[in-house]
């Protein structure tokens, strides 16, 4: 099953501010997750239906919508600030 990836405006802005090599690495990790459902993904405690994908020192916060088979990327943040709101 292949998931459709939807980027929020805020996540796209996070990605645009990154070094190109890091942004490419994150993009490949999300594509891999969408196509093969493989990656270092864990459910976030304290957040309803939010998950994180670990890509080195970066964290991608996301949600899965099973009805539309889509992954919504919420934020792309460094490890230290990924879980602060």
| Residue pLDDT, tens place only, 4-46 | 999 999 999 999 999 999 999 999 999 999 999 999 999 999 8
Whose tokens are 């949600």? That residue is 63
24 in a structural domain: yes
Owning domain of residue 74: 4-80
85 in a structural domain: no
How many structural domains comprise the chain?
1
CB 42 within 8 A of CB 51: yes
Q: What are the residue ranges of helices labelled H in the chain?
A: 9-16, 20-36
The pTM score is 0.91
Going by C-alpha positions, the residue among 25, 32, 34, 29 that lies closest to residue 6 is: 34
Torsion over CA: 78, 43, 83, 65 (sign): positive
Looking up residue 18, the CATH number of its domain turns out to be: 3.30.2310.20
Q: Can you count the helices (H) and strands (E) in the chain?
A: 2, 5
């Amino acid at each position: 099953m292949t998931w459709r990836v939807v980027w929020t405006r805020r996540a796209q802005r996070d990605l645009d501010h990154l070094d190109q090599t890091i942004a490419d690495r994150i993009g490949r990790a999300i594509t891999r997750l969408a196509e093969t459902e493989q990656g270092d993904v864990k459910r976030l405690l304290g957040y309803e239906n939010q998950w994180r994908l670990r890509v080195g020192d970066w964290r991608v916060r996301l949600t899965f919508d099973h009805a539309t088979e889509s992954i919504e990327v919420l934020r792309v943040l460094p490890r230290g600030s990924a879980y602060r709101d």
